[in-house]
Amino acid sequence: MPEPALPTDASTGAALPETPAPKTMATFDAKYANRVMLVLAGIVMVVLYVEGMLTPSLPTIQSDFHVDTAQVSLIISAYAISGVALSPIVGKLGDIYGKRRVLMGVMLAYASAVSVTGFSPTFGFMVAARTVQGVGLTILPLGMSLVREEFPRELVPRAQGILSAMFGIGFAISLPVGSAVSQSYGWRDTYHSAIPIVLLLTIAVFFLVRESTYRRPHTRVDYGGAALLGGALAGIVAALSQGQQWGWHSPLTLGFAGAGLFLLLPFVLWELRWTREGREPIVDPRLMKERNVAVTNAVLTVAGLGMYMALFALIYRFEFPPVSGGFSQNILQAGLDIVPLALSMMGVAIVASIAVSKVGVKPLALAGAGLTAVGFVLLAAAKTLDQSLLYETVTGAGIALLNASIINMLVLSVDPKDMGQATAMNNVFRNLGGSVGAPIVGSLLAAYVTGVIVPSGPLAGTNLPSLLAFQYAFYIAAAITLVGALAIVFGQEVLGPRRHPKFAHQPQLSGGFGSRRMVAPPPAPTPRPAASQ
């Protein structure tokens, strides 16, 4: 039987190997890899800025379009729904057709949506534009995959740490800058200010990023599985993100949740059939069952939930009056009050990216989870604004330590040819956890109230929550983080002196970022049977 034809490079016509040799300290292009990392870091920072800058403007948007609170919340949930639904599809397409080609398409769609959103003539148009904009959530998984391909294993933790630090920078600038621009010029100008940067980064991807060598263009795309999974995730996220506004027992919430859960059954059956026929499903169940993949997904689900709970509880507490245990800050001040948390995340992420290679993923991730939980407990006990600002830096440090370390357990365990799918599904779990965080805080604020009704102003008609509501939110976030940390124990160590035997042959690194100097040259690779490649 003749050998199947190998895929070819579209630009040169040369045959591509099915399993390209991974980059090593001797073979990787340091200048190009660092350039790609900086472009991707800029994209991650801008995406987070664009999303965060809109939050302070929601009351103004509600007033401008004459919609109620439930309707204006669609601006946030539409983005999350489409982003989560598209993540596994985009990730798989990246594995098949190449990350650069798919990233280029994503950036064009994202840039188009960002460019038109500020000009929205109607509320419906804005929700539609935000739905398209949700494709921005798929950029981070593609970026992580490209970083894994271009950097040798020894430098991946440092590159991933810089991407994680961009979360801190994005948070640090989004709320205060968004608040300032919205307050001075209007919410539409927050979008207008982002258009040039997004367009420049799109052009940078086109000219500076090479196509991935890990691609299988002759693989048939599982469109049926993609549609079923996208529909299931969209229904579940819609119910979670809108449940507080619609009512948890309302027909809309139950309908979306029921439809999403119902679609999971035909999705599983479809994927099993697709696998039996020897074709690649949109989500490979064998990949999802790998220990480190499952552990990372579980940890980042609860980490996302706890982080969003804390973020929303902090912002609400900063803005509510003292009768609620709040500090009566305006929108701009509340945005500035989040900066210590963001700066702490940024600094610790960079430190963790350097330390994780020597210490190991599991010790740093467990320390990060513990530190995060301590920060949440301290925030619950905080009585003054200064105490809250101090304690949120502890929380931010813990979150950064956890995120910057645990992601290495995923990217250093998965075959690069499946990296798009693995990181995309991880993104799905992270965002599912985040989608639950805000509704939990909203439910607590509605359940524990002071009985004081605000007569006028932005909070007019609001039955103010009590301090107990905020304290419970932080305590629950702490408990959830600690429970999630238990999963870390079951992972296989990929770095540090206690690496699992599966990863023990990998060399250790000595030197700064981008350095080619090593403690010892890497040993010759052990030949493996063709079936295991």
Mind listing the pLDDT tens digit for each residue in 56-86? 777 778 778 888 766 777 787 788 888 888 8
Q: Could you tell me the residue range of the domain that residue 397 belongs to? A: 30-212+282-507
Provide the pLDDT for residue 221: 78
Amino acid at 152: P
* Nearest alpha-carbon partner for 191 in 250, 118, 124: 118
61 and 150: one domain?
yes
Q: How many domains does the chain have?
A: 2
Q: Does residue 187 lie in a domain region?
A: yes
443 and 489: one domain?
yes
Q: Does residue 180 lie in a domain region?
A: yes
228 and 323: one domain?
no
Residue 258, number of CB atoms within 10 A of its CB: 14
Q: Phi first, then psi: what are they for 27, rounded to 5°?
A: -110, -15
411 and 373: one domain?
yes
Q: What is the pLDDT of residues 219-228, one digit of tens each?
A: 777 888 888 8
152 and 260: one domain?
no
The token duo for 479 is 């408990």
Q: Does residue 92 lie in a domain region?
A: yes
Q: Does residue 354 lie in a domain region?
A: yes
Compute mean pLDDT per 10 residues along the chain, 533 residues long, and list them.
42 49 71 85 86 76 78 79 84 85 92 91 90 87 80 77 75 77 82 90 89 76 84 84 79 89 89 80 78 88 82 83 84 80 86 86 92 94 93 92 87 80 81 77 80 61 81 91 89 80 56 40 45 38
Q: Does residue 6 lie in a domain region?
A: no
Q: Does residue 531 lie in a domain region?
A: no
188 and 72: one domain?
yes
Q: Which residues contact 218 (CB under 8 A, 6 or more apart)?
A: 4, 5, 7
* Nearest alpha-carbon partner for 56 in 306, 309, 244, 316: 316
The CATH number assigned to the domain holding 298 equals 1.20.1250.20
Provide the pLDDT for residue 392: 92
* Nearest alpha-carbon partner for 210 in 65, 12, 470, 361: 12
What is d(CA 153, CA 480) in angstroms, rounded to the nearest whole number? 32
271 and 288: one domain?
no
Where a domain ends, among 281, 311, 328? 281
What is d(CA 493, CA 504) in angstroms, rounded to the nearest whole number? 9
273 and 338: one domain?
no
pTM for the predicted model, two decimal places? 0.77
Provide the pLDDT for residue 363: 92
Provide the pLDDT for residue 501: 67
Q: Does residue 149 lie in a domain region?
A: yes
Provide the pLDDT for residue 533: 34
Provide the pLDDT for residue 373: 94
152 and 75: one domain?
yes
Residue 159, classified by CB atoms within 10 Å of its CB into exposed (0-12), middle (13-18) or buried (19+), is: buried
179 and 228: one domain?
no
- In sequence order, what are the beta bridge partners of 449? 465
Provide the pLDDT for residue 518: 38
